[in-house]
Amino acid sequence: MKELVVISGKGGTGKTSLVAAFAALAGKVVLCDADVDAADLHLVTHPRVVETHDFVSGHEASIDLERCTRCGLCRQWCRFGAIDEAFRVEPLLCEGCGVCAHMCPERAVDFFEKTCGVWHVSETPYGPMVHARLGIAEENSGKLVALVRREARRLAESRRIDLLLTDGPPGVGCPVIASIGNADAVLAVAEPTVSGRHDMERVLALAAHFRVPAAVCVNKSDLHPDEAHRIAEEARKQGAAFLGFIPFDPVVTRSQVDGRSLVDYGETPVVRAIQEIWEGLRALVVGNAEGVLKPSEGKPKAWETAQA
Amino acid sequence: MILAIASGKGGTGKTTVACNLAAALERPVVLADCDVEEPNAHLFLKPHWDVTIPVTVDVPVIDAEKCTLCGACQDLCQFKAIAVLPETVLTFQELCHSCGGCALVCPAEAISWGSRQIGERRTGRRGPIHFVDGTLRIGEAMAPPLIRAVRQAAADIPDCAVVLVDAPPGTSCPVVASLWGADYVLLVTEPTPFGLNDLALAVAAVRKMGIPCGLVVNRCDIGDDRIHAFARRENLPILLEIPFERKVAEQYAQGHLLVDVFPEWKAMMRGLYDAVVRELERGTSGASLEGRASTLETREVSA
């Protein structure tokens, strides 16, 4: 079983639309939505939810004001400023470290496990899908990402499906790190803008840091062809396989509004470009026996130079 | 006034609005780029840099001579950042939240504090704009302490009545760290199913924080009208709608500030600022500035 994770660094470059199109082209896959704090893949894959589970992770403190003597030790030791003058815990600031509970001489701090989201196993026309929803303004997104990926892997193995397609989150922080660890390859979807190139470079540096082989494509490439070519060049320079350009076409938005896969709209230039990229990915990820796609060698590119 | 620019979905135009708003005001403002995972505002603002300083977090350092391997630190640590083995203690610094609990419980006083760099913070100027941003070190998971450092640096700049905060996408802890203490949040969205789904999540997050918010609908002519129906239902003011224009997208792609290229953008951004000020004066939009209590019962919206 191989896992391909689609990431981008910059948000809104078209990760989810591409994942949905790849799913339609692939035939049988397991899908995983690892963008747990703004999950969108379910909007275009029509999942029928068959299992729902609570995501219980971490703790939160709550002070019993009946028992509290206002001695102030908890406020003194809380490094997150989460306890106000009235000895109420602000849940949005509490990191669940338990220092207040430990320090309280009256044992007035209730330190309880938190439910910070739900996760689902669903059936889609393309195969099973594991997706989740992190609670609003919650923490532990990295742990939820790790959980959905683990469940998706298990599903792929038990159903003998040889490809896991994961829709990753934007950025390079905690949830992205949790999304790409031990993946067989990442595809970074860039857009031809100065910010798109900057963010692609950082996300490739991240893939190199964790020694995950990377490939790159540029979406909406004709909005700024020069920048698109610079991205292709830079990607190759950073040791990534460059797989192609996807032109800008309003049909991508239309397919999202209609809730249908892009491939339903016939042989448009966009679909042809995506098909080509998909073939390239297949060759790299599935047929990796020849070792076409190698993990980046050498020292990870330093973040200072990656942003120059 | 602290005005944050946020969105659930990435790539809707947060940075475009933040940078052009800052430039259009033509008076002393602070622009704080809190998207420390992918900081982009500097690419458009092109500030002259003043200082760059490393941002660190506290991590425990264990004195093996003093340590009795009692295990109290491991028992307290909720983040699995300390493992007490039969003959030694291991710390996993990247998991540490710097809560200080381990040093507090250690009976042998064997734990002192070291520091670990998570990124860097830069400050710079462009005309009357004071600029601050943070860059998370590649491979570093913990963005919120760096975001708080950027917010703090923004707050420390004197004589600026307006602080604009460019927030990261999403709805989890980096967004909370970016929006904390803001007076108003502009949610930039686009009229697509993904835009709407993520907007609903962002509105719920902002309401949970008790901050009033209004919408900027970018590329307002590309999708459908469900965003408008949502805004009506949720009583959210739409303060600006920006149509998709290829020439605008092309200028953005090259890193130009739109207010420098298109005079109408300057008027549009000033109009947006005035609209925010009016909203704040009216105190509508579902949350009062003084208290958070009135908004705590706000129901969670879902698309």
Helix (H), strand (E), coil (C) string for A230-248: HHHHHHHHCCCEEEEECCC
Q: What is the DSSP letter of A302?
A: P
Q: Is the pLDDT of residue B249 over 60?
A: yes
Tell me what the mean pLDDT of segment B35-48 comes to.
98
Instruction: Say what the pTM is.
Output: 0.92
**Within a domain: residue B278?**
yes
For B:212-271, CB contacts with A below 8 A are: 222-224, 246, 249-250, 252-255
Rg (CA), chain B: 22
Alpha-carbon distance A265 to A126, whole Å? 17
Claim to verify: residue B97 and residue B208 sit in the same structural domain: no
Instruction: Report the pLDDT value the prediction gives residue A303, as an integer from 0 to 100.
Output: 32
* Cα dihedral A63/B288/A135/B142 (nearest 10): -80
Contacts of B107 in chain A (CB under 8 A): none
Residue B154 sits in a domain of what CATH number? 3.40.50.300
B134 touches chain A (CB under 8 A): no
Q: What is the DSSP letter of A70?
A: -
Claim to verify: residue B101 and residue B126 sit in the same structural domain: no
pLDDT digits (tens, 9 = 90+) for A115-149: 999 999 999 999 999 999 999 988 878 999 999 99
Tell me what the mean pLDDT of segment B117-142 comes to.
97
**Within a domain: residue B192?**
yes
Alpha-carbon distance A17 to A127, whole Å? 17
Q: Find, among B185, B207, B208, B188, the residue nearest to B198 by Cα.
A: B188
pLDDT digits (tens, 9 = 90+) for B259-270: 999 999 999 999
Residue range A2-46+125-306, CATH number = 3.40.50.300
Instruction: Report the pLDDT value the prediction gives residue A55, as an integer from 0 to 100.
Output: 96
Claim to verify: residue B83 and residue B141 sit in the same structural domain: no
For A:211-230, CB contacts with B below 8 A are: 223-224, 227
Single-letter residue type at A267? E
Per cent of chain B over pLDDT 90 is 92
Note whether B38 contacts A257, CB cutoff 8 Å. no
Report the chain B residue with the minimal C-alpha distance to residue A304.
B137
Q: Are B60 and B82 in contact (CB under 8 A)?
A: yes
Size of interface A-B (CB pairs under 8 A): 202
Claim to verify: residue B67 and residue B150 sit in the same structural domain: no
**Within a domain: residue B219?**
yes
- The residues spanned by each domain of chain A are 2-46+125-306, 58-115
Q: What is the DSSP letter of B94?
A: G
Q: Are A296 and A305 in contact (CB under 8 A)?
A: no
CATH class of A58-115: alpha beta
Claim to verify: residue B109 and residue B130 sit in the same structural domain: no
The whole domain housing B102 covers 58-117
Tell me what the mean pLDDT of segment A28-40 comes to.
96
For B:56-115, CB contacts with A below 8 A are: 76, 78-79, 97-101, 104-105
**Within a domain: residue B301?**
no
pLDDT interval class at A262 (50, 70, 90): confident
Instruction: Report the pLDDT value the prediction gives residue A291, as an integer from 0 to 100.
Output: 47
Instruction: Report the pLDDT value the prediction gives residue A305, as an integer from 0 to 100.
Output: 34
3-state secondary structure of A5: strand
Alpha-carbon distance B170 to B11, whole Å? 11
* Range in A168-177, A276-285, B283-292 with the lowest mean pLDDT: B283-292
pLDDT interval class at A287 (50, 70, 90): low
Q: Is the pLDDT of residue B191 over 80?
A: yes
**Within a domain: residue B243?**
yes
pLDDT interval class at A308 (50, 70, 90): very low
pLDDT interval class at A301 (50, 70, 90): very low
pLDDT digits (tens, 9 = 90+) for A164-223: 999 999 999 999 999 999 999 999 999 999 999 999 999 999 999 999 999 999 999 999
Q: Buried b vs exposed e over A44-73: b needs ≥16 C-beta within 10 Å?
A: bbebeeeeeeebebbbbbbbeeeebeeeee
Contacts of A11 in chain B (CB under 8 A): 9-12, 169
Hey, of B7, B37, B44, which one would you mutate to test binding to chain A, going by the most A CBs within 10 A of its CB?
B37
What stretches of chain A adopt beta strand conformation (E)?
A: 2-7, 30-33, 48-63, 109-124, 127-134, 163-167, 185-190, 214-218, 241-245
Tell me what the mean pLDDT of segment B100-114 comes to.
96
Claim to verify: residue B239 and residue B150 sit in the same structural domain: yes
Alpha-carbon distance A116 to A101, whole Å? 20
Contacts of A176 in chain B (CB under 8 A): 37
To which H or E segment does residue A146 belong?
Answer: helix A141-158
Claim to verify: residue B191 and residue B276 sit in the same structural domain: yes
Nearest to A173 among B141, B209, B254 (CB): B141
Compute how many other C-beta atoms are within 10 angstroms of the C-beta atom of residue A140.
Answer: 24
A45 touches chain B (CB under 8 A): no
Instruction: Report the pLDDT value the prediction gives residue B284, as an integer from 0 to 100.
Output: 53
Note whether B138 contacts A177, CB cutoff 8 Å. no
Single-letter residue type at A63? I
pLDDT interval class at B303 (50, 70, 90): very low
Q: Which two tokens stand for residue A199?
A: 């963010």
pLDDT interval class at A27 (50, 70, 90): confident
Nearest CA-CA distance, residue B78 and chain A, Å: 6
pLDDT digits (tens, 9 = 90+) for B57-94: 999 999 999 999 999 999 999 999 999 999 999 999 99
**Number of folded domains that form chain B:** 2
**Within a domain: residue B213?**
yes
The size of chain A, in residues, is 308
Alpha-carbon distance B173 to B159, whole Å? 29
Q: Which two tokens stand for residue A24?
A: 């339609």
Only one residue has tokens 């532990």, namely: A140
* Range in A251-255, B8-12, B195-199 with the lowest mean pLDDT: A251-255
Q: Are A149 and A119 in contact (CB under 8 A)?
A: no
Q: Which positions ≥6 away from B254 have C-beta within 8 Å?
A: A193, A194, A224, A227
Domain end residue (candidates: B89, B117, B145): B117
Domain end residue (candidates: B117, B149, B165): B117
- For residue B227, CA distances in Å to B167, B170, B215 come to 21, 18, 10
Q: Find, among B140, B91, B287, the residue nearest to A173 by Cα.
A: B140
Instruction: Report the pLDDT value the prediction gives residue A263, as an integer from 0 to 100.
Output: 82
Alpha-carbon distance B195 to A203, whole Å? 23
Instruction: Report the pLDDT value the prediction gives residue A290, as an integer from 0 to 100.
Output: 47
Please give the backbone phi and psi of residue A37, each rounded to the nearest 5 degrees, phi first.
-95, -5
**Within a domain: residue B302?**
no
Claim to verify: residue B68 and residue B152 sit in the same structural domain: no
Alpha-carbon distance B176 to A159, whole Å? 39
Note whether A171 contacts B38, CB cutoff 8 Å. yes
Q: Which two tokens stand for residue A180?
A: 């790409």
* Range in A3-17, A283-297, B212-226 with the lowest mean pLDDT: A283-297
Note whether A172 contacts B100, CB cutoff 8 Å. no
Q: Is the pLDDT of residue A89 over 90?
A: yes
Q: Find, among A197, A229, A251, the residue nearest to A21 by Cα.
A: A251
Claim to verify: residue B159 and residue B47 sit in the same structural domain: yes
Claim to verify: residue B135 and residue B265 sit in the same structural domain: yes
Contacts of A223 in chain B (CB under 8 A): 246, 249-250, 253
Tell me what the mean pLDDT of segment B94-110 comes to.
96
Instruction: Report the pLDDT value the prediction gives residue A288, as an integer from 0 to 100.
Output: 57
Claim to verify: residue B161 and residue B39 sit in the same structural domain: yes
Instruction: Report the pLDDT value the prediction gives residue B128, as an integer from 0 to 100.
Output: 97
Q: Is the pLDDT of residue B298 over 80?
A: no
Residue B91 sits in a domain of what CATH number? 3.30.70.20
Claim to verify: residue B204 and residue B291 sit in the same structural domain: yes
B174 touches chain A (CB under 8 A): yes
